[in-house]
Amino acid sequence: MSDPKRAQGSTTGPVAIPAAPDLAAPVAALQGEWRAVVPLKQDAPGFEKTWLCHPRAELFVWKDPRGNISAFQFCFQDGKTEHMVAWDQKHPTTAGPVDGGESSPQANRSPVMVPRPGDDTPSRALEMWRQVRDGLPSALVQHVEAALRWR
C-alpha cells in the first residue's frame, strides 16, 4: 500500500498522533458553511479521500482501510495567494504558498506547494483554521489540531 499523494514530500520519520474515529457518520453531519464534494474520484489506492469545502478554505482527508486519518491537506486563499498545509502519518507537516503552475496560456501545469524559508503560512493557516473550523465534526477538528499541534 502506498501513501496518499502529497503536494510536497519529506524524508524524516513518522509523527505519532492519536487515531481519529471513522469520519463516515460525522461528514454526513457537517454544519455551518462546510459541504462535502460528492461523488469524488478515489485516486489513492487503499485510501478513501474526502473533500470538504468552505467558502474560505478546503480540507482534503485520506482515511486508511480501518477508518483512521492517514493524511490531510488544508488549503486557503490569503489575498491573491493560495496556501496549503499538508500532513500525513509518515512525514512531518509541510506548509507554504501554492504556485498555480499556469505561467503560460500554452501550458497546463499542476499547482504545487513551494515552501520558502521564513514563509508565514503556518501562522496564516492557524488564523484561518480558527475562523473556519466551526461546523466540522469535533473528532476531525481535534485530529487536525493534534497533528499540527494547534492547541
Residue 65 has pLDDT above 80, yes or no: yes
Arithmetic mean of pLDDT, 33-40: 88
- Sketch the domain layout of the chain as residue ranges: 24-100+112-148
Report yes or no on whether pTM surpasses 0.85.
no
Q: Write the CB contacts of 100 (distance below 8 Å, at least 6 apart in sequence).
A: 82, 111
Arithmetic mean of pLDDT, 38-52: 89
Residue 143 has pLDDT above 80, yes or no: yes
The set of cell numbers assigned to 59 is 480540507
Query: Cβ distance 136 to 10 under 8 Å?
Result: no
Please list the residues that pair with 92 across neighbouring strands: none
Work out the mean pLDDT of the chain and round it to a whole number.
76
For residues 128 and 119, the model is more confident at: 128
Arithmetic mean of pLDDT, 69-91: 88
**Residue 94: what pLDDT?**
79
